[in-house]
Amino acid sequence: MIDCAACGAAVEPQISLGRMPLANGFLRFEDFGAEYFYDLNAGMCRLCGLAQLTELVPPEKMFHGEYPFRTSGSVRMRTHFRELARTVAAKHLPAGKSFVVEIGSNDGTLLESFAAGGTRHLGVDPSANMVDAAERAGVRSLRRFFDEATARDIVSAEGQADVILAANCFSHIRDLRSLASGLRILLKPGGVLIFEDPYLGDIVRQGAYDQIYDEHAFYFSVISVSRWLSTHGLELVGAEPVDVHGGSMRYIAAIRNRLPPSPAVAAHRRREVDGGLDQPALLAGFQRRIDQSRSELVAFLNRLKLEGRRVVGYGATSKSTTVLNYCGIGPDHLAFITDTTPLKQGRFTPGTHIPVVPPAAFNSPFPDFALLLAWNHAAEILEKESEYRDAGGKWITYVPEVGILST
């Protein structure tokens, strides 16, 4: 049981995924004995409909100098952020001097376009290695967690922002109340806040339970976001589905009564009510689907093991930590997992201790089967690895159903 991060009401867990290590806790052999574990449970607030983790990991354990996730790791994400920057510049940046702030700016991939166009900007991110990478890319960055105090300091040093951006970040910030107060302080009257995160509707529809892990404290919906923002003088004025990270929603907000809400907001809210997206019973039903998915995936991989097939994993995503640990998939099932991120290579997966190796290992020789753990990048990866398919290799997926991908 925990107090809802948005409204303070009691939230009970409806989903239990057992003991879990840190999703990005890729570790060295010598650290096997000292891994951190917590109970991965999630529930929905009966009062405001916000789906959230009900046990929390201290932020310093997750976001630090060795944080391995890099936005620029995917071509699709780079294109997506260039398009977002273009949309913001065309629709939301006032003429003349404007100021753009990105919260959770990571390696600067999104702000790079603004920096290149000479727009005054600031990235805020707590991970030292990411701030260094962003600075090297010409993106001005502040190494700090974003909260009310950070917002006040930015405003007194640099003034309020015309546009505040955040991508795959707000679902990571535990203190939603301090976040919203900070946003209200930082946002110029008439300015816009644009953020996107994995969407609860897509997670449930696709059975993507691997979106549930320590860093994703929240699984937002249009209903829960509207309610959260409205208690802080902000108003949701737009909501647009975006096809990244396995299904996300882009939320556009402003200071209350400053901008007319798009009819899309009310339409999404109606759809969510019809689909029960604000009802805790939704998550209880989801747990049954998760358990079914686990049984099928484990049976599938056990069969391949018995047949002596060579199976590897593709993409050591944060999401994969949930699936591998919940299903008990280890080095017996997957010989290794290939990943493009240098910081993950040479290490072992959290909890399950599967070696993570550079992509060059994938075709030497090609495996019989590859478990596509980076399923949200399926199009990009299947195109890149067309030789694997041509050589008879098979992709295993588990979202939305366990099976072989038709290529």
Q: Which residues bind ligand TYD (CB under 6 A)?
A: 69, 73-74, 315-319, 339-341, 374, 376-377, 380-381, 384
Contacts of range 351-357, beta carbons closer than 8 Å, 24 or more positions apart: 351/20, 351/21, 351/35, 351/37, 351/321, 351/324, 351/325, 352/321, 352/324, 352/325, 352/328, 353/27, 353/32, 354/313, 354/324, 354/329, 354/330, 355/331, 356/26, 356/316
Burial class, 364, CB count within 10 angstroms (exposed 0-12 / middle 13-18 / buried 19+): exposed
What's the number of CA atoms in the CB half-sphere (13 Å) around residue 268?
Answer: 25
Nearer to ligand TYD, 95 or 360 (CB): 360
How far is it, in rounded angstroms, from Cα 125 to Cα 351? 27
Under DSSP, is residue 292 helix (H, G, I), strand (E, B) or coil? Answer: helix
Rounded to the nearest whole angstrom, what is the least distance from the CB of residue 299 to ligand TYD in the complex? 24
If the CB atoms of residues 150 and 349 are measured against ligand TYD, the closer one turns out to be 349
In angstroms, give the least distance from the CB of 73 to ligand TYD. Answer: 4
Question: How far is the C-alpha of 307 from the C-alpha of 310, rounded, in Å?
Answer: 9
Q: Nearer Cβ to ligand TYD, position 227 or 250?
A: 250
> Is the CB of 68 or the CB of 191 nearer to ligand TYD?
68
CB of 385 to ligand TYD, least distance (A): 8
Q: Which is nearer to ligand TYD, 340 or 363 (CB)?
A: 340
In whole angstroms, the minimum distance from the beta carbon of 140 to ligand TYD comes to 25
The answer to whether 223 touches 229, Cβ cutoff 8 Å, is no
Closest to ligand TYD by CB, 141 or 349: 349
E strands, 168-278, are: 187-198, 218-219, 234-242, 248-255
Give the whole-angstrom CA distance, residue 148 versus residue 351.
35
Q: Which is nearer to ligand TYD, 14 or 376 (by Cβ)?
A: 376
- Report residue 254 as tokens: 């402003």
Give the closest residue to 109 by CA, choosing from 142, 75, 143, 64: 75
Residue 158 vs residues 34, 152, 188, 248: alpha-carbon distances, Å: 43, 10, 12, 31
Distance of CA 83 to the CA centre of its chain: 19
Helix (H) or strand (E) segment spanning residue 304 = helix 281-306
Q: How far is the CB of 358 from ligand TYD (least distance, A)?
A: 9
Q: How far is the CB of 107 from ligand TYD (least distance, A)?
A: 13
Task: Tell me which DSSP letter residue 211 carries.
Answer: G
CB of 195 to ligand TYD, least distance (A): 16
Closest CB to ligand TYD among residues 256, 394: 394
CB-based contact 37:321 (threshold 8 Å): no
Amino acid (one-letter) located at 208? A
Q: Cβ 97 to ligand TYD, closest distance in Å? A: 34
Q: Which is nearer to ligand TYD, 98 or 318 (CB)?
A: 318
Cβ 147 to ligand TYD shortest distance, Å: 23
Residues 6+ positions from 33 with CB-CB distance below 8 Å: none
Q: 233 or 241: whose CB is closer to ligand TYD?
A: 241
To the nearest whole angstrom, how small is the minimum distance from the Cβ of residue 104 to ligand TYD?
A: 12
